[in-house]
């Protein structure tokens, strides 16, 4: 089956693509449906609701299936920062927010904007995040898998400590989903945010926020628009304010082409997950870490520290291996389009 999956992707011949943590490669069905939509757009023959906009509902359902929640908890958004901004907008001077100091800026910056208007936001060392959740803390924000190190956050300890002090948890799982399972914790995380253009193999401009049920309706819908309405295709003018009863009240108006491709990619991932095919990239990442003498971080991201970045770049380029340089290391991330030979090639080049 893995060979059949790999046949759906077309990386440049001779290139080993291990950079899914920057952007995932698109499967052929996603490219095909987007191409057909371009043809329909050019010809002016598409029904924008049925042919294009409803793809968002397919994406909502598929994402919910991937993470194991009800679709009614999922909002359709364009980016991580938009979701974090929704949460940050309701923070006040009475809150106490804790976030890692080296957090990805799409999570950190909306919180720092809140700090500029007086919200207490503490930046702490990643390793001390659990210890810094103290009585009076109201929000903990972090990523599930650090993009620059590949480290997986101790999410169970974070959730349990947050519950002890009554704090909410905002988790950016962009670099973890669908390979790092949250299990029962998915129902205890207040705000789960995922941008889909990396490991979910979607076009850029597709993201999701899953809210714990008790936050639906409580979080202010500051981006309210026609698509967030209770009948988004039935009324476009005038009041009163009638928003969807579930997390769709936080939806934005969708960029059609990206969401068309996303629906295809996400539905494929749901099928691959059910068949067990998503376990192989995790095994490949572990093999890569072990082959380089590194401690495996628990995800598909492997960050290789390098003392001589120029030599490392040259070695990878010579072997035609696509990876990313982040901070003081090289970041590699296998996916369903990789195999054991790709990992062996990367290990040999970096050694």
How many angstroms separate the CA atoms of 75 and 58, rounded?
12
Whether 169 and 294 map to the same domain: the answer is: no
How many angstroms separate the CA atoms of 107 and 85, rounded?
8
Whether 222 and 154 map to the same domain: the answer is: yes
| Dihedral over Cα of 288, 294, 299, 300: its sign | negative
CATH number at residue 284: 3.90.1150.10
How many angstroms separate the CA atoms of 38 and 351, rounded?
45
Q: Which residues contact 10 (CB under 8 A, 6 or more apart)?
A: 25, 28
Q: Quick one: pLDDT band at residue 234, thresholds 50, 70, 90?
A: very high
N-to-C CA span, the chain: 31
How many angstroms separate the CA atoms of 79 and 277, rounded?
27
Which of 254, 271, 288 is at the close of a domain? 271
Structure confidence by residue, pLDDT tens digits, 65-118 = 999 999 999 999 999 999 999 999 999 999 999 999 999 999 999 999 999 999
Whether 336 and 190 map to the same domain: the answer is: no
How many other C-beta atoms are found inside a 10 Å radius of the C-beta of residue 139?
Answer: 25
Mean pLDDT of 242-252: 98
- Whether residue 36 is contained in a domain is answered as no
Mean pLDDT of 194-201: 98
Whether 117 and 209 map to the same domain: the answer is: yes
How many angstroms separate the CA atoms of 307 and 169, rounded?
36
Q: Which residues contact 11 (CB under 8 A, 6 or more apart)?
A: 17, 25, 337
- Whether residue 125 is contained in a domain is answered as yes
Specify whether the CB–CB gap between 193 and 76 falls below 8 A: no
Structure confidence by residue, pLDDT tens digits, 146-195 = 988 889 999 999 999 999 999 999 999 999 999 999 999 999 999 999 99
How many angstroms separate the CA atoms of 215 and 250, rounded?
11
- Whether residue 43 is contained in a domain is answered as no
Which of 246, 271, 296 is at the close of a domain? 271
Mean pLDDT of 314-343: 91
Q: What are phi and psi of 14, to 5 degrees?
A: 85, -5
- Whether this prediction's pTM lies above 0.85 is answered by yes
How many structural domains is the chain composed of? Answer: 2
Whether 258 and 143 map to the same domain: the answer is: yes
Specify whether the CB–CB gap between 30 and 58 falls below 8 A: no
Domain limits for position 68: 48-271
Whether 80 and 154 map to the same domain: the answer is: yes
- Whether residue 107 is contained in a domain is answered as yes
Whether 318 and 254 map to the same domain: the answer is: no
CATH number at residue 126: 3.40.640.10
Q: Quick one: pLDDT band at residue 1, thresholds 50, 70, 90?
A: low
């Amino acid at each position: 089956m893995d060979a059949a999956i790999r046949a759906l992707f077309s990386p440049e011949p001779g290139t080993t693509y291990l950079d899914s943590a920057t952007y995932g490669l698109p499967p052929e069905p996603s490219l095909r449906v987007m191409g057909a939509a371009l043809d329909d757009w050019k010809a002016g023959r598409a029904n924008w609701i049925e042919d294009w906009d409803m793809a968002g509902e397919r994406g909502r359902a598929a994402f919910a299936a991937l993470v194991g929640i009800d679709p009614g908890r999922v909002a359709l958004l364009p980016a991580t920062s938009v979701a974090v901004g929704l949460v940050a907008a309701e923070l006040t001077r009475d809150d106490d927010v804790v976030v890692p100091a080296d957090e990805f800026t799409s999570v950190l910056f909306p919180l720092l904007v809140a700090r500029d208007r007086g919200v207490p936001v503490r930046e702490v060392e990643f390793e001390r995040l659990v210890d810094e959740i103290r009585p009076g803390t109201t929000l903990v924000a972090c990523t599930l898998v650090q993009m620059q190190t590949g480290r997986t956050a101790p999410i169970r300890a974070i959730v349990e400590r947050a519950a002890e002090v009554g704090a909410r948890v905002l988790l950016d799982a962009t670099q973890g989903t669908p390979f790092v399972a949250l299990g029962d914790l998915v129902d205890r995380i207040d705000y789960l945010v995922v941008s889909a253009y990396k490991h979910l193999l979607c076009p850029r401009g597709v993201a999701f926020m899953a809210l714990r049920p008790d936050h639906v309706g409580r979080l202010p819908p500051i981006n309210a628009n026609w698509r967030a309405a209770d009948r988004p295709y039935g009324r476009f003018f005038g009041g009163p304010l009638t928003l969807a009863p579930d997390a769709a009240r936080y939806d934005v108006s969708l960029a059609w082409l990206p969401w068309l491709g996303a629906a295809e990619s996400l539905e494929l991932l749901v099928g691959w997950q059910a068949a067990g095919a998503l376990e192989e990239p995790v095994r490949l990442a572990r093999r890569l870490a072990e082959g380089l003498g590194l401690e495996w971080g628990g995800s598909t991201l492997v960050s290789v520290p390098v003392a001589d970045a120029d030599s490392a770049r040259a070695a990878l380029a010579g072997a035609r291996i696509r990876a990313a340089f982040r901070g003081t290391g090289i970041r590699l991330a296998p996916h369903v389009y990789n195999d054991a030979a790709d990992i062996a090639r990367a290990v040999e080049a970096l050694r």
